[in-house]
């Protein structure tokens, strides 16, 4: 909605006010409204979801800011305390860092077609809850969905929306003083949109990527040497051509087994671990395997390598530790037909995004080439399943036959919602694999 005034001059305050009342009108959805009542009716009829969402965001901001202020017992008596909160901490004034969207229509912010942004920024954040409040308001204002993790060590996010909204989001991020070292290049883009996520989740966490180690003990500041996609490509190329280098170098995938299963760099070591919090134990159990080796690490967007490489370096066994800057995402932008084969796994409702035309994985049941994940059909299991269309038509839609039978029994018993439990095939897997020297 735009407020238009044709007031061009005045001879007195009274006449200016009179002219202003006569000339001001409102424009919305290609229509012009002369009266406030008319624009109010239009907004209530056509834009109620947006109005409610904006109102909710503003109210949440006011409540959180009020709780911050009233938490200071001397606020009413000590003006210097008030000045400290509102003056020296720029991020406290959340509204000051929200973008101006008056030039953008509701339709431009809510179209389904768009993109997904993946990004992170390691930096010192003294007041992560204030940034959490700002991020919540920012994403709601721009109608974005996704997940944003904030901590004292930085921010990690993946959000989806229309391109107008994601562009405004990027501008808001790089304009904030805490993230002034970020640039547009730090945001990895892929085709998607608001429907790639069920909702918006913004929270404060000890770690912005859960490795299970206190950030104060293993810091991103001690990460391995960053290699650009070009530099990484050259090293992988040399690795594939020289057997001597191959014996001294390990191309290490930091992701989970279900990620590397559908796509990876050729000749890489992909640990058979289920989540990143197992990675420290994996390193500890395989120190002799890594001893004296040059390590080339990679992950989806680069964030897991930051502290993963720092942990590996802290053990003092590797000759050198390198990591792919920007992760597989940035590598594929420059080398779409490079050494990475298969699909790239992503943590949203798409599950994968195209990387190369080849399929390197197979159906868990019949062995045919297949790389499209679906959740296990049994409600108590959260495992991902590779089951081809033919097998799915046969009812083979669980992660394993045992889980399939459990699912049938649960549905036939009608005993209410089943209790979540670890799947048998997961329970039998080795939690921390040991590599052979």
pLDDT over threshold 80, residue 301: yes
pLDDT, tens digit (0-9, with 9 covering 90-100), for 6-49: 333 333 444 444 444 456 788 888 888 887 767 867 876 778 77
Instruction: Output the pLDDT for position 56.
Output: 66
Instruction: Output the pLDDT for position 407.
Output: 64
Instruction: Output the pLDDT for position 390.
Output: 96
What strand order describes the sheet that includes 294-298?
225-227, 320-324, 294-298, 249-253
Give percent of the chain with pLDDT exceeding 90.
Answer: 62
Question: Mean pLDDT across the chain, nearest whole number?
Answer: 84
Instruction: Output the pLDDT for position 340.
Output: 96
297 pLDDT tier (thresholds 50, 70, 90): very high
pLDDT over threshold 80, residue 425: no
Active site residue 399: no
Give percent of the chain with pLDDT exceeding 70.
Answer: 79
Structural domains in the chain, CATH included, are: 2-46 (no CATH), 72-204 (3.30.70.100), 220-345 (3.40.250.10), 362-427 (no CATH)
Instruction: Output the pLDDT for position 20.
Output: 44
Task: Give dist(CA 294, CA 312) in Å, integer.
Answer: 11
Instruction: Output the pLDDT for position 345.
Output: 97
More confident site: 409 or 265: 265
Task: Give dist(CA 166, CA 394) in Å, integer.
Answer: 41
Burial class (CB in 10 A: 0-12, 13-18, 19+), 68: middle
Instruction: Output the pLDDT for position 23.
Output: 65
Instruction: Output the pLDDT for position 113.
Output: 85
Is the full-model pTM beyond 0.75? yes
pLDDT, tens digit (0-9, with 9 covering 90-100), for 229-260: 999 999 999 998 887 777 899 999 999 999 99
pLDDT over threshold 70, residue 72: no
The pLDDT of 323-351, averaged and rounded, is: 96
The pLDDT of 101-127, averaged and rounded, is: 94
Instruction: Output the pLDDT for position 13.
Output: 42
pLDDT, tens digit (0-9, with 9 covering 90-100), for 344-390: 999 999 999 988 778 999 999 999 999 999 999 887 777 899 999 99
Neighbours of 190 (CB within 10 A): 19
pLDDT over threshold 50, residue 405: yes
Instruction: Output the pLDDT for position 355.
Output: 85
Instruction: Output the pLDDT for position 3.
Output: 45
Of the candidates 168, 127, 178, the residue with the CA atom closest to the CA atom of residue 144: 168
More confident site: 258 or 403: 258
CB 162 within 8 A of CB 113: yes
Instruction: Output the pLDDT for position 70.
Output: 38
The pLDDT of 396-409, averaged and rounded, is: 78
Burial 85-118 (b: 16+ CB within 10 A, else e): beeeeebbebeebbbebeeeebeebbbeebbbbb
83 pLDDT tier (thresholds 50, 70, 90): very low
Instruction: Output the pLDDT for position 422.
Output: 61
Burial 371-388 (b: 16+ CB within 10 A, else e): bbbeebbbebbebbbbbb
Instruction: Output the pLDDT for position 25.
Output: 82
Instruction: Output the pLDDT for position 246.
Output: 74
For the ranges 209-218, 223-232, 353-362, which has the lowest average pLDDT?
353-362
CB 99 within 8 A of CB 159: no
Catalytic residue selected from 299, 399, 403, 423: 299
pLDDT over threshold 60, residue 175: yes
């Amino acid at each position: 909605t735009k407020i238009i005034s044709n007031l061009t001059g005045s001879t007195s305050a009274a006449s200016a006010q009179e002219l202003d009342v006569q000339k001001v009108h409102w424009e919305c959805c290609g229509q012009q409204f002369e009266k406030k009542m008319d624009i109010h009716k239009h907004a209530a009829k056509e834009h109620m979801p947006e109005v409610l969402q904006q109102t909710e965001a503003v109210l949440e901001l006011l409540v959180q800011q009020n709780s911050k202020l009233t938490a200071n017992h001397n606020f009413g008596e000590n003006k210097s305390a008030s000045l400290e909160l509102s003056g020296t901490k720029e991020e406290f004034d959340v509204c000051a860092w929200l973008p101006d969207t008056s030039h953008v229509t509701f339709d431009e912010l809510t179209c389904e077609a768009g993109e997904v942004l993946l990004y992170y920024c390691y930096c010192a954040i003294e007041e992560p809850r204030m940034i959490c409040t700002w991020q919540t308001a920012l994403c709601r204002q721009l109608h974005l969905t996704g997940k944003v993790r904030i901590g004292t060590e930085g921010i990690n996010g993946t959000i989806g929306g229309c391109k107008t909204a994601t562009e405004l989001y990027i501008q808001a991020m790089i304009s904030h003083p805490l993230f002034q070292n970020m640039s547009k290049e730090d945001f990895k883009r892929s085709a998607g949109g608001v429907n790639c996520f069920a909702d918006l989740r913004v929270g404060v966490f000890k770690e912005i990527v859960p490795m299970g180690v206190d950030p104060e003990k293993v810091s991103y500041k001690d990460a391995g040497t960053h290699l650009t996609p070009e530099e990484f490509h050259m090293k992988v190329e040399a690795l594939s051509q020289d057997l001597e280098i191959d014996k001294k170098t390990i191309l290490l995938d930091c992701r989970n087994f279900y990620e590397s299963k559908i796509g990876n760099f050729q000749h890489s070591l992909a640990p058979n671990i289920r989540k990143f919090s197992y990675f420290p134990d994996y390193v500890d159990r395989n120190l002799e395997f890594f001893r004296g080796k040059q390590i080339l690490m990679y992950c989806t967007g680069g964030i897991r390598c930051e502290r993963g490489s720092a942990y590996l370096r802290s053990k003092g066994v590797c000759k050198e530790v390198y990591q792919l800057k920007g992760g597989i995402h940035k590598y594929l932008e420059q080398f779409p037909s490079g050494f990475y084969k298969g699909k790239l796994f992503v943590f949203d409702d798409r599950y994968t995004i195209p990387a190369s035309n080849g399929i390197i994985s197979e159906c868990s049941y019949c062995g045919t080439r297949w790389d499209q994940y679906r959740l296990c059909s049994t409600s108590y299991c959260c495992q991902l399943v590779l089951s081809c269309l033919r097998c799915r038509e046969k009812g083979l839609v669980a992660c394993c036959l045992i889980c399939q039978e459990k699912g049938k029994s649960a549905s036939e018993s009608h005993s209410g919602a089943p209790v979540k439990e670890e799947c048998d095939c997961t329970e039998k897997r080795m939690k921390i694999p040991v590599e052979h020297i």
